[in-house]
Structure 1
């Protein structure tokens, strides 16, 4: 895993220690990428690799209309105020054409507000909060990944088939976790009116007291649990849950847990038979994904993670947008090109579109069950849930999103 300097990190696959490469004026299109590299390395180290691979492939093909893409990376360390400060430096000092990135939802919202205030394009790769494209959506912000609403809707489709009637929830206490629980409760109640929610836990992000959380959930005697923890919080939650028998004879529905970034660190402690969203990287053999996986392995000598796909697709979208503008980086032209933009995903499941009405892409997610294979967690019985099928209709979106 590459270490990250809190200052400028060069892109285009260039080694971090090398001095910046100087190009002739107009030869390069510069992208400012802001992300929580030091606070979320499990996702963002492979993310950066996927970004580098995509940039290298675009440039090896002649760039966009003969112009190379270059990225200047900044690390916000998971702090919204640092993300906004970096965004200002990238726009004003580094003269980037657009901003991209974001991991945590609160950071993504701060960057989206900055983009709106400064009238600069922001292509949000990862933040999952619905507010990014709805309540606080704006003309200049677009989001790639399926949102909390979309992933909750995918999971509710499976949860509604379970006999469970008493549910408890656990999620990190910030925008993403709160939004995920809110939508899961609303959508499941709509699909199955006889369910009741008997308890909820909102531990602080990155500081879960897993023993106390598990004990509190068990005391509510639920039939099933909806889990939204991830990263180190998920690892601690699973270990304490296994130790204390929380998961015995209960069904668990869990957002993100099928992502290899979070499943693999559990080793043989990985839970089995949880219903999850994730990424079946080993067994997904569409021609497009096979080509991506092979190229990633050849470049980095390891298998891709979901972060790798997210970054690769973000760059693919930006390159497709720039081709549409003829490599013109005037902001309003780029924004117009993003609305309704169609581009291929590394999943190899067909083209993805950024909806004009809310700037949400139709990228989907995989839904399946967790299982143990060769002493480590994996996804089985999975299916691709097309994001377009899990978004509200235009008339509903108009009630959720300000005009922009």
Structure 2
């Protein structure tokens, strides 16, 4: 006998009623996260970051996903170029139909993605870009930022620098948004605490193209008592090696942003500086239950220690999952409401996205550099809650666009 159309529909309807959860799990489209980062330009940070994002997605999916749907991570490489990041964002939104955007490493790339998000009304969760403009001068209701900003990191470094008996300071930073922002805030914070200090030289090498010899020579010629450094990656490595060779750091305190991150300390090996005041990530020394679980899982999966980028990548996906759950939807407007004031867990601490400016309260590790087994590490470190490093609401309102 051949069943009638009515019989087929009745049978199908009965099956749906009998197993609605199974049908939803198999038939529901995944929540798609479109992530853009500088994978070829800054692999030391972004590859561990991508590893940890995939680990977090797999962990969440193994536990049932979010809102009964699997998460799907689609990554693209911007090569460190803002124009490519915007082009890739359009491809992810228009062709891949992603539900939200994430990522960014360089500050200028993050600003470009934030502008794209506002113009195209798509949520963007920035993981790494540190410029304050991303949530203040150029902030918008579609953009949130996870990592502690240049303002936050400069605030704690200036607090420590103010304890140093140094009057004459040199500044060295990459000549783009991140470096300019870091120097601006450090100068302002330090002078507020120590009005008598003076800045005797500023060196602004192009990002990724430092001529370390002349840079070190120019700083030495100014005879500073201390140095504030914002260089990172290969620029930092070249600067440290030239500085060691020429004795620049002898009897001089150096205060250095990000240098305590293993991505930047490890390449220096036994040439890593000792006694610098730094922000960073003492990952192998953090002994909380949540961080141990994360680190053990990461090592088991990738057979290597987690880097700072790993922690940021995992925390980014944790925050996105929490925002989706609170919003109970992947709709952009509902996501904005869900992320505003959102509280979430990370491998290192509880954090939240402030409703006023969309800056996360993820904190800062500050300490000193040291050598252990001929490798650079952070010592005498502490974790500073990001909420204590941010300006009050009245100050933020003077920095963030009134239209928001």
Taking structure 1 as the reference length, what is the TM-score of the superposition?
A: 0.93
The aligned counterpart of 2:81 is 79
Is 2:390 the partner of 1:391?
Answer: yes
Task: Give the whole-Å Cα distance in 1 for the aligned partners of 2:375 and 2:281.
Answer: 15
Is 2:266 the partner of 1:264?
Answer: yes
The aligned counterpart of 2:251 is 249
Task: Give the whole-Å Cα distance in 2 for the aligned partners of 1:261 and 1:244.
Answer: 24
> Secondary structure of 1:156's match?
helix
The aligned counterpart of 1:31 is 33
Within the candidate set 174, 177, 180, 1:175 is matched to: 177
The aligned counterpart of 2:152 is 150
Post-superposition offset of 1:27: 2.6
The aligned counterpart of 2:222 is 220
> Secondary structure of 1:313's match?
helix
The aligned counterpart of 1:334 is 335
Q: Deviation per CA, 1:75-127: give whole Å up to 9, x if none.
A: 00000000000000000000000000000000000000000000000000000
Is 2:203 the partner of 1:195?
Answer: no
Is 2:365 the partner of 1:366?
Answer: yes
> Secondary structure of 2:284's match?
coil
> Secondary structure of 1:368's match?
strand
- 1:225-240 paired onto structure 2 within 5 Å: 225-240=227-242
> What is the RMSD computed on CA atoms of the aligned residues?
0.9
Q: Deviation per CA, 1:304-342: give whole Å up to 9, x if none.
A: 00000101010000000111122x111000011000000
> Secondary structure of 2:283's match?
coil
Post-superposition offset of 1:26: 3.4
CA contact (8 A) 2:78 2:88 kept: yes
Post-superposition offset of 1:345: 1.2
- 1:108-187 paired onto structure 2 within 5 Å: 108-187=110-189
Is 2:49 the partner of 1:47?
Answer: yes
CA contact (8 A) 2:341 2:354 kept: yes
CA contact (8 A) 2:327 2:339 kept: no
Task: Give the whole-Å Cα distance in 2 for the aligned partners of 1:334 and 1:116.
Answer: 14
Post-superposition offset of 1:192: 0.8
- 1:292-371 paired onto structure 2 within 5 Å: 292-326=294-328, 328-347=329-348, 349=349, 351-371=350-370
- Give runs of ≥4 in structure 1 deviating > 6 Å: none
Task: Give the whole-Å Cα distance in 1 for the aligned partners of 2:66 and 2:265.
Answer: 37
The aligned counterpart of 2:17 is none
Task: Give the whole-Å Cα distance in 1 for the aligned partners of 2:224 and 2:97.
Answer: 54
Q: Give 1 or 2 for the bigger CA radius of gyration.
A: 2
> Secondary structure of 2:72's match?
strand
Task: Give the whole-Å Cα distance in 2 for the aligned partners of 1:155 and 1:190.
Answer: 13
Aligned residue pairs total: 379
Task: Give the whole-Å Cα distance in 1 for the aligned partners of 2:364 and 2:51.
Answer: 21
The aligned counterpart of 2:98 is 96
Post-superposition offset of 1:385: 1.0
Task: Give the whole-Å Cα distance in 2 for the aligned partners of 1:230 and 1:25.
Answer: 46
> Secondary structure of 1:319's match?
helix
Q: Deviation per CA, 1:28-77: give whole Å up to 9, x if none.
A: 00000000000000100100111011001100100012200001100000
Q: Deviation per CA, 1:181-229: give whole Å up to 9, x if none.
A: 0100011000111100000100000000000000000111000000000
Task: Give the whole-Å Cα distance in 2 for the aligned partners of 1:236 and 1:248.
Answer: 17
The aligned counterpart of 1:289 is 291
Post-superposition offset of 1:281: 1.1
Task: Give the whole-Å Cα distance in 2 for the aligned partners of 1:173 and 1:309.
Answer: 27
Task: Give the whole-Å Cα distance in 1 for the aligned partners of 2:261 and 2:294.
Answer: 17
Q: Structure 2: 5+ residue runs without aligned partners?
A: 1-24
CA contact (8 A) 2:363 2:386 kept: yes
Task: Give the whole-Å Cα distance in 1 for the aligned partners of 2:341 and 2:327.
Answer: 13
Task: Give the whole-Å Cα distance in 1 for the aligned partners of 2:283 and 2:101.
Answer: 28
Post-superposition offset of 1:253: 0.1
Q: Structure 1: 5+ residue runs without aligned partners?
A: 1-22
The aligned counterpart of 1:208 is 210
> Secondary structure of 1:336's match?
helix
Task: Give the whole-Å Cα distance in 2 for the aligned partners of 1:253 and 1:322.
Answer: 39
Taking structure 2 as the reference length, what is the TM-score of the superposition?
A: 0.93
The aligned counterpart of 2:108 is 106
